[in-house]
Amino acid sequence: CVLATMDPPHPFIHEVKLTKAQRIRGMVLGSVLFPVRMFLGALLFLLMWPIARLRLAGLSEEERSRPVTGWRQWLLHPFMWMLSRGAFLCMGFFWLKVKGRRASNKEAPVLVVAPHRGFLDMCVLLPTQLPTVVSRSENTNLPVIGALLEYNQSVLVSRKDPESRKKAVAQLKERLTSNGYWPQMLMFSEGTTTNGKALIKFKPGAFLAGVPVQPVLLSYPNKLFLPVYNPSEEEKNDPSLYADNVEKHMAKALGIPATDYVLEGRGPVSKLGGLSLPFESPPRETLALLQKNGFTSSDIEAALGRMIDRCQSQRQGQSSEFRVNVDDLMSLLRLKDRETALAICELYSKDESVDLRQVYVSVASISGFVSFKSLLHTAFTLYDEEGKGSLNAEELPGIMGALLGVPQYNTSELYSAACKQDGVTEDDLLRVLTTHPTYQRVTNEYLQPEAAGSRLPITALTNDNTVNNNKSFTNDNGTLHSKKSD
């Protein structure tokens, strides 16, 4: 399969290239049409506000916990649909091209939509008859938007409250297994917006109940309803597998790659046994910046020597001692351009300072100047805060974040695999990272010299291995497949 052997494009970077004529037309028409469109669209949204509030007005909490029926449904719902259509008409959606047939609520309780490019994707609500959605509870405080979510009887979840997540999951399962009692639900399973050039890993929310789903493709200007996807028994018991297989199915129909990348922090990462592997490797980006500034191999090796000398001269046990600002980093690297030093800091940190251990360890790991075993020994010494010869569960994320160049938030699986007694020793970590069937991929594919490639090989969900019960293409299994560097 061609899609399985190509590196997918970056899912969160979009370059707009306009001709001179297009720029002129955009400036002229935009200055005239944009204010008019925004005014009319805003006016219609304001008209929706009181109608949305009216739908649930006077109902008790118990009544609000059930689907709205009666005049609140047959009178207000069509009126709200017409206002919504008018709002999108004002924003330029003169005609919505819809292909395929939308399944009924009993056929498919969930509509899974992808790719998710931005706010205007909400136009898919029109051909789907304003289904209910899942949203952040914080959005209920927004003017108009909060009223529309209330009107929609949305499932609300707070990302800060674990109990809210549990309640939302219970609500989802109840609604999706209600056999048509609750309205159809619509979910953007990517969970965030991308540039639409590749699908990122689907979240399992839409697949938790193990019910059939209908994939909906947003390929502007078309909205395409694919046939209902009926899960196998294996998929019903494994929501993550179910989500991966539907992602592959939709990616093949769209003609774009399916990846296992998710958005974490400021960029896309791939998950491997709980570890976060970045799409764009900060150490490789650092090397590229240094080479752009004329650094030779000997210059880079010398800079690494100065950094480790500085690290080893600091006091053990206090991570703040290892932080350097932009000017310090500029001096250590012997850079003449402060902007380059600042750019390197921004690869690793949100401010103008950086943990020097992280820069050294991550760049040295792919520089080719030091063996992995020797580097791990050095890194272990730097991160063994008390000099006890082992790392506890709280210290392990630090050394792994340094090796990989990005913060690590979940190393519990790695800790369990490496820990034999009361902590992870240097030998334990070396053993797991070089022999464990999962974690050896970190050293074999990621912690390799810069010549091995400019970034980590993209982990793609191959369309060949899709487990699909709809017989639209051949089934094997639901395992992930990665392309190794040549």
Please state the length of the chain: 486
Residues 223 and 134: their CA atoms lie apart, in Å, by: 20
Other CB atoms closer than 10 Å to residue 378's CB: what's the count?
17
**Residues in CB range of 423: below 8 A, 6 or more apart:** 388, 390, 391, 392
Residues 455 and 194: their CA atoms lie apart, in Å, by: 20
The DSSP code sequence of 206-221 is GGTT---EEEEEEETT
- Summarised one tens digit per residue, pLDDT across range 308-355 is 999 888 755 455 678 899 999 999 999 988 999 999 999 998 888 899
- Summarised one tens digit per residue, pLDDT across range 226-274 is 999 999 999 999 999 999 999 999 999 999 999 888 888 767 888 888 8
Residues 363 and 268: their CA atoms lie apart, in Å, by: 20
- Summarised one tens digit per residue, pLDDT across range 13-37 is 878 888 999 889 888 888 888 899 9
Whether 209 shows a pLDDT value over 90: the answer reads yes
Whether 356 shows a pLDDT value over 90: the answer reads yes
Q: Which residues of 42-75 are buried (b: 16+ CB within 10 A; e: fewer)?
A: eebbeebbebbeebeeeeeeeeeeeebeeebeee
pLDDT score of 7:
63
The answer to whether the beta carbons of residues 150 and 59 sit under 8 Å apart is no
- Confidence (pTM): 0.79
- Summarised one tens digit per residue, pLDDT across range 40-94 is 999 999 999 999 999 999 999 899 999 999 999 999 999 999 999 999 898 888 8
CA distances (Å), origin 265, targets 32, 130, 268, 349, 407:
38, 32, 8, 11, 9
**Residues in CB range of 317: below 8 A, 6 or more apart:** 385, 386, 387
Q: What does the block give as tokens for 216?
A: 């909906």
pLDDT score of 171:
92
Q: What is the mean pLDDT of the chain?
A: 85
Whether 1 shows a pLDDT value over 50: the answer reads no
Whether 161 shows a pLDDT value over 60: the answer reads yes
pLDDT score of 200:
93
Q: How would you classify residue 210: left for phi > 0, otherwise alpha for psi between -120 and 50, otherwise beta?
A: left
Residue 401: Cβ-neighbour burial (10 angstroms; 0-12, 13-18, 19+) = buried
Q: Virtual CA dihedral for 251, 252, 253, 259, nearest 10 degrees? A: 0
Which of these ranges, 161-175, 251-265, 299-313, 445-459, has the smallest mean pLDDT?
445-459
CA distances (Å), origin 214, targets 2, 86, 140, 250, 444:
26, 26, 28, 10, 39
Phi then psi for residue 257, to 5 deg, are -70, 155
How far out from the chain centre does Cα 198 lie?
Answer: 12
Residues 404 and 277: their CA atoms lie apart, in Å, by: 7
Averaged pLDDT, 363-383: 91
Bond from prior residue into 115 cis (ω within 30 degrees of 0): yes
Residues 5 and 16: their CA atoms lie apart, in Å, by: 27
Show me where the domains of the chain are located: 2-259, 278-452
The answer to whether the beta carbons of residues 228 and 107 sit under 8 Å apart is yes
Residues 302 and 281: their CA atoms lie apart, in Å, by: 22
**pLDDT-derived band at 160, boundaries 50, 70, 90:** confident
The answer to whether the beta carbons of residues 414 and 395 sit under 8 Å apart is no
Residues 303 and 334: their CA atoms lie apart, in Å, by: 7
pLDDT score of 270:
86
**pLDDT-derived band at 485, boundaries 50, 70, 90:** very low
- Residue owning tokens 């793609």: 460
Residues 348 and 367: their CA atoms lie apart, in Å, by: 17
Other CB atoms closer than 10 Å to residue 315's CB: what's the count?
8
Which of these ranges, 125-139, 265-279, 359-373, 409-423, has the smallest mean pLDDT?
265-279
The answer to whether the beta carbons of residues 231 and 469 sit under 8 Å apart is yes
- Helix (H) or strand (E) holding 263, with range, is strand 261-264
Report helix, strand or coil for 278.
strand
Vertex 311 angle, CA 309 and 317, to 5°: 145
Highest mean pLDDT among 111-115, 156-160, 271-275, 281-285: 111-115
pLDDT score of 480:
28
Rg for the chain, CA atoms, rounded: 26
pLDDT score of 303:
94
**Residues in CB range of 155: below 8 A, 6 or more apart:** 132, 133, 134, 135, 168, 171, 172, 175, 185
Residue 484: Cβ-neighbour burial (10 angstroms; 0-12, 13-18, 19+) = exposed
**pLDDT-derived band at 455, boundaries 50, 70, 90:** very low
pLDDT score of 447:
83
**pLDDT-derived band at 450, boundaries 50, 70, 90:** low
Residues 424 and 417: their CA atoms lie apart, in Å, by: 9
**Residues in CB range of 25: below 8 A, 6 or more apart:** none
Half-sphere exposure for 381 (CA within 13 Å, toward CB): 11
Q: What does the block give as tokens for 332?
A: 């250590």
Q: Report the percent of the chain where pLDDT is more than 70.
A: 90
Nearest to 145 by CA among 170, 119, 171: 119
